[in-house]
Amino acid sequence: MSAGPSKFVQVVIASPVRQHFDYLPAEGLNAMDYRVGTRVEVPFGRRNMIGIVIGHSQDSSIPADKLKAIRQQLDTVAIVNEDLLALAEWMSSYYHHPFGDTLLSLLPNQLRKGGSINAYTQCCWKISHHGLGLPDNALSRAPKQAALLSFLRTAELATANTLTTETALKHAGHSRASALELAKKDLVTASEQAYYPSDCQSLLTGQAQDQPPTLNNEQIAAGTLISDRLDSFDTVLLEGITGSGKTEVYLRAIEKVLANDQQVLVLVPEIGLTPQTINRFVNRFDVPIAIFHSGLTDRERLAAWTAAKDGVAGIIIGTRSAVFTPMANAGLIIIDEEHDGSYKQQDSLRYSARDIAIIRARTKNIPVVLGSATPSLETLFNVQTKKYLHATLKERAGSASPPSIEILDIRCKELHEGLSDNAIAAISETLSNGQQAMVFVNRRGFAPLLMCHDCGWHAQCDHCDARLTLHNRPRELRCHHCDHRTHVPSSCVRCQSTRLLNVGQGTQRSADALSALFPQFPVIRIDRDTTQGKQAMGEQVDLINRGEPAILVGTQMLAKGHHFPALNLVIVLDIDQGLYNPDFRGPEKTVQLLTQVAGRAGRTGHAGKVLIQTHLPEHPLLQIWQTESYQGIVEAMLNERSLRSLPPYAHIALIRADSHKPEHAMQFLNSLAMQQTNRVNQNGCQLIGPLAAVMEKRAGRHRAQLMIKSEHRKSLHGEVKQLIHWLDQSKKPSGLRWSIDIDPQDVI
């Protein structure tokens, strides 16, 4: 290595290339003028791209005359701190994702696109030296300017170097025109300054007004477990049945952390970030609260991001990607509903926000709390092996008691639009008692299948191995996998018969049927179709929270996190599909969903009731769950995982490939497997497959996958690295795409 000053700037960009690129400094600048963590605009191929400086070097593997110069420096101070750099490094190596792409994915969109770090700026005014020294009567012919100058002088004399915002200036009765005149005479200076507007959607001001309830003994014990560990890393599972007061325990821990002038990051599932949730925080704490959710503009997200980074926000609440938010002074991380599938990103950089939260807490040496009524098997396993601490809340908070559960055998029973007589009678009774009933249907749309009664033809997506779902309003057939939409034929495509049947129940159909059965009561439907708008979900929830008798119909969106005080009856229309789910996580997901749905019933006062309709009443999962609840079934599920050597007893990675041409993906993974199996086996790993995906064709692409499994994480990662090297190097059929998924959620 040659000695001397660094000549080259190392830059990463969002690209599939797994390395950095060397650039020359722009003319007149030195390499070291580009600080690590700042953004630069660099020429790349025929385009310009935004990159981040990650280091400097004296040598480059590319001859200096082939290197290009940086076009533009976008920041003078680092926007990516060491924390984020280290996190990106960890993620890049754990998820085997290119470092540059990883690092840029951690940033808000506006920064990724090269925008200013300041989301909002406004003009600020300051009196100049010259202005300060101006004799009092110098502006006697311009009284407005004189008044403004005197106003700014008073401000400056009160606090040196003070800036007066244009808003404040106008507030005091001065005009921008006078300020501009003064600026022309060099008596004042103007500058753009960052600020947070008071109506910013992503930064709310907390106003404590709620009277906290007196904690019960279990809550006190759980709270103590957490608050005893506020100054070091630990992972605490807070396992508490729905309505047991977990959120109240979080709020008490947050109170302690805020009192230490530290920040708290709270992660919630995708659909859990309703105004109702946010209000619990806003009404409890007098601190600025930064919010991240999908309804924000890029600018609003950036404002929340900088407020967290600069320590302005005391509490940061957000969904999955909020886990990357930099914090000036983090004290605690909370992950609500830690088992929720939405914490795992399912495309591109396939990370788990829960796992990353734990990594961040460890790096920052602060505690992390995982809360759930139905913790994931991985988390429970970590409790069993003493990696995590465990606090439990077994009682419902306040006066609520757990619901009674009844499995309704619907074999041979007459069904009215999917509902048994017992279910209808129960709804009727609930409504006449002035309470609410909820019908859980796991399909949105009208009917999951359009079928010909004469020849058995059914409507199928042209692009996927999937049936089309019939929707009413607007009436069309839709594919729920690729969003392909098409008109509803009036006769069978194969035999021209007009006897087309709508088979099965979707939320629309159930809602229609319930409206017809109970015309005097409102039917509130909640699914992805009815909650599209920014405010829609919150409005629906508000309507439910009014507590008037009503029927709620919805998909699993209804099952999560909400506290509906007047809801007393829950009906699960059909659980059988879940029980047949072939994925290894199928049983876990189904039981979690059942438990969550059931947990909605009877949350205040009256004992609630849950009716589960099924054709499989003897299914062991249902049997154990009914008598022993979630905790009872966990042992059985863990046993099964252990016997089959599946997570958490083994670790898996999945390589997926897809291609337009049938067979290409399969052949490609086959050649990978053929060449690598021996070495992989020798290193204590196992290759399983390649297999065609259960839905072999999706959105016009044919899909195959190869699983790598090992009991040792280290060997798994070693082998994945080798496989990726092969994948990067090998010649691929045109149009073939592949991806790697570490700790996949679904493997079918």
Q: Which residues bind Zn ion (CB under 5 A)?
A: 452, 454-455, 457, 461, 463-464, 479, 481-482, 484, 492, 494-495, 497
From the CB of residue 379, how many other CB atoms can be counted at a distance below 10 Å?
23
* Identified binder of ligand ADP from the candidate list 201, 216, 345, 401, rule CB under 6 A: 216
| 262 interacts with, out of ligand ADP, Zn ion, none, CB within 5 to 8 A per kind | none
Report residue 138 as tokens: 């110098």
Report residue 338 as tokens: 């830690």
The residue (of 177 and 495) whose beta carbon lies closer to Zn ion is 495
| 615 interacts with, out of ligand ADP, Zn ion, none, CB within 5 to 8 A per kind | none
Q: According to the binding rule CB under 6 A, does residue 398 interact with ligand ADP?
A: yes
Residue type, 314: G
Q: How far apart are CA 410 and CA 206, in angstroms?
A: 50
The residue (of 96 and 390) whose beta carbon lies closer to ligand ADP is 390
Q: According to the binding rule CB under 6 A, does residue 602 interact with ligand ADP?
A: no
708 closest CA partner among 696, 698, 720: 720
Nearest approach, Cβ of 457 to Zn ion (angstroms)?
A: 4
Q: According to the binding rule CB under 6 A, does residue 248 interact with ligand ADP?
A: yes
Nearest approach, Cβ of 508 to ligand ADP (angstroms)?
A: 29
593 closest CA partner among 619, 565, 554: 554
Nearest approach, Cβ of 659 to Zn ion (angstroms)?
A: 17
Report residue 352 as tokens: 């788990």
Per-residue mark of binding to ligand ADP, 81-120 (x: CB under 6 A): ----------------------------------------
DSSP 306-370: HHHHTT--SEEEESGGGGG---SSEEEEEETTTT-GGGB--SSS--BHHHHHHHHHHHHT-EEEE
Q: How far apart are CA 363 and CA 544, in angstroms?
A: 42
DSSP 532-561: -STTHHHHHHHHHHT--S-EEEESGGGTSS
* Identified binder of ligand ADP from the candidate list 56, 443, 563, 600, rule CB under 6 A: 563
Q: According to the binding rule CB under 6 A, does residue 403 interact with ligand ADP?
A: no
Q: How far apart are CA 570 and CA 561, in angstroms?
A: 15
Q: Which stretch binds ligand ADP (CB under 6 A): 152-160, 245-253, 270-278, 459-467?
A: 245-253
The residue (of 461 and 669) whose beta carbon lies closer to Zn ion is 461
| 482 interacts with, out of ligand ADP, Zn ion, none, CB within 5 to 8 A per kind | Zn ion
E strand or H helix that includes residue 418: none
Across the beta sheet with 188-194, the strand order is 164-165, 121-127, 188-194
Q: Binding-site residue total for ligand ADP (CB under 6 A)? A: 16
Write phi, then psi, for 308 (nearest 5 degrees): -75, -45
Contact 586, 333 (CB under 8 A): no
Q: According to the binding rule CB under 6 A, does residue 213 interact with ligand ADP?
A: yes
Q: According to the binding rule CB under 6 A, does residue 600 interact with ligand ADP?
A: no
Residue type, 597: V
The residue (of 307 and 369) whose beta carbon lies closer to ligand ADP is 369
Q: According to the binding rule CB under 6 A, does residue 243 interact with ligand ADP?
A: yes
| 398 interacts with, out of ligand ADP, Zn ion, none, CB within 5 to 8 A per kind | ligand ADP
Contact 613, 622 (CB under 8 A): no
Q: According to the binding rule CB under 6 A, does residue 560 interact with ligand ADP?
A: no
| 497 interacts with, out of ligand ADP, Zn ion, none, CB within 5 to 8 A per kind | Zn ion
| 429 interacts with, out of ligand ADP, Zn ion, none, CB within 5 to 8 A per kind | none
Q: According to the binding rule CB under 6 A, does residue 246 interact with ligand ADP?
A: yes
For 1-24, letters b (16+ CB in 10 Å) and e give: eeeeebbbbbbbbbbeeeebbbbb
Q: According to the binding rule CB under 6 A, does residue 605 interact with ligand ADP?
A: no
The residue (of 385 and 399) whose beta carbon lies closer to ligand ADP is 399
| 566 interacts with, out of ligand ADP, Zn ion, none, CB within 5 to 8 A per kind | none
Exposed (0-12), middle (13-18) or buried (19+): which is 540, by Cβ within 10 Å? buried
Q: According to the binding rule CB under 6 A, does residue 240 interact with ligand ADP?
A: yes
Contacts 24+ apart (CB under 8 A), 225-228: 225/389, 225/391, 226/253, 226/332, 226/367, 226/369, 226/391, 227/252, 227/253, 227/256
| 495 interacts with, out of Zn ion, ligand ADP, none, CB within 5 to 8 A per kind | Zn ion
Residue type, 433: N
| 43 interacts with, out of ligand ADP, Zn ion, none, CB within 5 to 8 A per kind | none
Look-up of token digits 């999951």? 448
| 247 interacts with, out of ligand ADP, Zn ion, none, CB within 5 to 8 A per kind | ligand ADP
Nearest approach, Cβ of 357 to ligand ADP (angstroms)?
A: 18
Chain positions contacting ligand ADP, by CB under 6 A: 213-216, 219, 240, 242-248, 397-398, 563
